Chains A and B, each alone.
Chain A
Amino acid sequence: MKHRVAIISVGNTEYTSLRRETRSKAELAFAAIKEALDEVRISIEDIDACVFTSVDGFEGNVRPARVLESFGQAHNVPLIDVNTGGSAGGSGVKEAVHLISAGIYELVLVYGSPTFNEVVDNQQVLNTASPPIFEKPFGLGAAHMGSLYGARYMREYNLTARELAQVAAKNHKAAVSNPFAHIRAGYTTEEVLNSPMVAWPLHLYEICPVSSGAVAMLFASEEKAKELCDTPVWVEAMSSIADTFLSGYKVYKDFENLKILAQRIYKEVGIKKPREELDVVEIFNPFAPFELLAYEALGFCEEGQGVNLMKEGATEIDGDIPCNPSGGVLCTNSGISASVTRHAEVALQLMGKAEGRQVKSPERGLAHSWGGNDGQFHTVAILSR
């Protein structure tokens, strides 16, 4: 990158369910952004640009950013709207990183919108993202898309229902200690297996909840970062990838394009053994199988070995490659907020500010986001202290 880029603060709200939500969308945006600004003692007019990220059409308003007043519009701050499905948070972070690394701006705010906090039925709304003539009529919601991966992956590598439930239970256990997690019930493997089957082979507790809550992050140039922050987290590299949109085009036994993206970004920063060279990882895992698929695509283990990596305890908070110490998207999915949160969580870990879920002195981490129908988009960021 031309100029160094740092993450200098994170603003997080509490997360809850849609039914329990009492805050308006405007109040959520205000709360998250205000906290990020206050953390480094600056005002909204100090930011050079704001990147808003959500999925067009999912918020009961095709252009939600335009009706919120939290992005510095009162001070004529430029507002940039980024949408790449579920990975929009990663793409928004990438946009902020580019703007600063190019030397265009010094302080950029990224806001992850609570994409689903108006929906009456989330799967109904997610179904509208399917290609309307070729796939939408068949009743694909997000849960079904996740299940297509689950079915093929389980069959390909003889993964049992219990093993898949263990992946979910690992995340539920971690979320208990995360004050910013939505589902903190700590469901066990047994409870996961006994939860209702929603879209075979996925049970209810192997599928993310629909959460409400929001996150903001502040990105700064090296000069600004050193002026405003004692614990800046540096962006070593940030990259994204895309492939074809249709669900029918996927093979479902691996995250092929994430594998390509990981190789590209590891090469860029000189990582040869990711399992040894990364200290904390946040994977976009709205469905339990995604965590295993991502372990493999990110090169932490061979194909089909994800479950063994998990069983060894390597990916637990005290393992050698901790993955989702936050409990991941599986326990908190506030839409695009959740894909910004992967970056916020890794940044907080590297700052030593991950209250209740802190990994022991991490130096370098990876944040992943996933989006589009069945994974058209992935983003990966490598962050370090």
Chain B
Amino acid sequence: MASTEFMNKEYNMHLDFSVSLGPAYTKWMKALGEKKILANKCSKCGRHFVPAKPFCEICFEPIDEWIETDGEGIVESFTIGYAKFRNLPDPPYVIGVIRVGPSAVSMVHWIAGFPYDKPEDIPDKIQIGMKVKPVWAEERKGDLLDIRYFEPA
């Protein structure tokens, strides 16, 4: 006879990793520590990249031309997290897909630093296509989080 009793057992995995960034990402991350957002450029197709790339996936050639951008970006899309999930930021938070300077691709970062009264007002404060600029952290260590967030420019 089948039993109607059942139980759950809990477990978790706490795992640690360390990743080698390679020279291109290292150069890009270190520049963040100096409040600079660099782009690099594929000399074959002429596309710029923020974040920088070690090679162009279309041309399949290494990239070694670099420029410094003014850090300003355009919001390509965004979402507002209103629900709390484990290990994810406390709501509300805005995740933007932001295209910086002449970049052909976008990067993901937070959009913040704008006034609002109630959380439900946030969708009216941000528009796709709006200009944003980085707000830098006081203490920087060569990391994407050296940019605290992007704010409306």
Please give, as numbers and ranges, the residues of chain B lying within 8 Å of A149 by CB-CB distance: 77
Bound CA span A147–B21, Å: 30
| Interface of chain B residues 49 through 77 with chain A (CB within 8 A) | 51, 57, 76-77
Contact B79 A120 (CB under 8 A): no
Q: Which of B82, B110, B127 contacts A197 (CB 8 A)?
A: B82
How many residue pairs between the two chains, A and B, have CB atoms under 8 Å in the bound complex? 109
Given A121-B85, A138-B108, residue A151 in contact with residue B79 (CB < 8 A):
yes
Contact A248 B108 (CB under 8 A): yes
Given A123-B88, A138-B108, A248-B108, residue A201 in contact with residue B123 (CB < 8 A):
yes
Contact B93 A200 (CB under 8 A): no
| Interface of chain A residues 260 through 306 with chain B (CB within 8 A) | none
A196 to nearest B CB, angstroms? 7
Bound CA span A147–B96, Å: 11
Q: Which of A121, A139, A155, A201 contacts B81 (CB 8 A)?
A: A139
Contact A148 B77 (CB under 8 A): yes
Flag whether B116 is at the interface (Cβ < 8 A): no
Q: Mark A224-249, 1 if CB is under 8 A from B, else 0.
A: 00000000000000000000101111
Sorting the interface of chain B by its residue count into under 10, 10 to 19, 20 to 34 or 35 or more gives: 35 or more
Give the interface SS of chain A, mostly helix, strand, loop or mixed: mixed
Contact A124 B107 (CB under 8 A): no
Sorting the interface of chain A by its residue count into under 10, 10 to 19, 20 to 34 or 35 or more gives: 35 or more
| Interface of chain B residues 118 through 135 with chain A (CB within 8 A) | 120, 122-123, 127-128
Flag whether A104 is at the interface (Cβ < 8 A): no
Bound CA span A213–B79, Å: 30
Query: Which of A76-84, A129-137, A167-175, A353-361 has 4 or more CB atoms under 8 Å from chain B?
Result: A129-137
Please give, as numbers and ranges, the residues of chain B lying within 8 Å of A135 by CB-CB distance: 108
Please give, as numbers and ranges, the residues of chain B lying within 8 Å of A198 by CB-CB distance: 82-83
Q: Mark A1-42, 1 if CB is under 8 A from B, else 0.
A: 000000000000000000000100000000000000000000
B48 to nearest A CB, angstroms? 14
Flag whether A140 is at the interface (Cβ < 8 A): yes
A117 to nearest B CB, angstroms? 11
Q: Which residue of A lies closest to B83 (CB)?
A: A198
Given A127-B87, A132-B17, A134-B144, residue A248 in contact with residue B106 (CB < 8 A):
yes
Q: Which of A22, A120, A152, A246 contacts B105 (CB 8 A)?
A: A246
Please give, as numbers and ranges, the residues of chain A lying within 8 Å of B107 by CB-CB distance: 134, 248
Please give, as numbers and ranges, the residues of chain B lying within 8 Å of A123 by CB-CB distance: 83, 85-86, 88
Contact B76 A251 (CB under 8 A): yes
Please give, as numbers and ranges, the residues of chain A lying within 8 Å of B76 by CB-CB distance: 152, 251-252
Bound CA span A250–B83, Å: 24
Contact B79 A148 (CB under 8 A): yes
Flag whether B19 is at the interface (Cβ < 8 A): yes
Flag whether A259 is at the interface (Cβ < 8 A): no
Contact A200 B79 (CB under 8 A): yes
Flag whether A60 is at the interface (Cβ < 8 A): yes
Contact B17 A248 (CB under 8 A): no
Please give, as numbers and ranges, the residues of chain A lying within 8 Å of B21 by CB-CB distance: 133
Given A124-B85, A196-B83, residue A252 in contact with residue B77 (CB < 8 A):
yes
Flag whether B97 is at the interface (Cβ < 8 A): yes
Q: Which of A60, A137, A151 contacts B128 (CB 8 A)?
A: A151
Q: Which residue of B lies closest to A204 (CB)?
A: B83
A289 to nearest B CB, angstroms? 11
Flag whether A144 is at the interface (Cβ < 8 A): yes
Given A124-B86, A134-B107, A247-B108, residue A199 in contact with residue B81 (CB < 8 A):
yes
Q: Which residue of B lies closest to A145 (CB)?
A: B79
Q: Which residue of A lies closest to B98 (CB)?
A: A248
Flag whether B114 is at the interface (Cβ < 8 A): no
User: Interface centre among B81, B98, B107, by most A CB within 10 Å?
Assistant: B81
Could you write out 28 A-B pairs with CB less than 8 Å apart? A22-B6, A60-B13, A121-B86, A123-B85, A123-B86, A124-B85, A132-B17, A134-B108, A135-B108, A138-B89, A139-B81, A140-B95, A143-B83, A144-B81, A155-B127, A196-B82, A197-B80, A198-B82, A199-B81, A200-B79, A200-B82, A201-B79, A247-B97, A248-B107, A249-B105, A249-B106, A250-B106, A251-B76
Told that A138-B110, A155-B127 touch, could you supply 8 new A-B pairs with CB distance under 8 A?
Answer: A133-B21, A139-B85, A139-B95, A151-B128, A199-B81, A248-B97, A249-B105, A252-B97
Show the binding face of B for A, using Cβ within 8 Å. Answer: 6, 10-11, 13, 17, 19, 21, 25, 51, 57, 76-83, 85-89, 93, 95, 97-98, 105-110, 120, 122-123, 127-128, 144-145
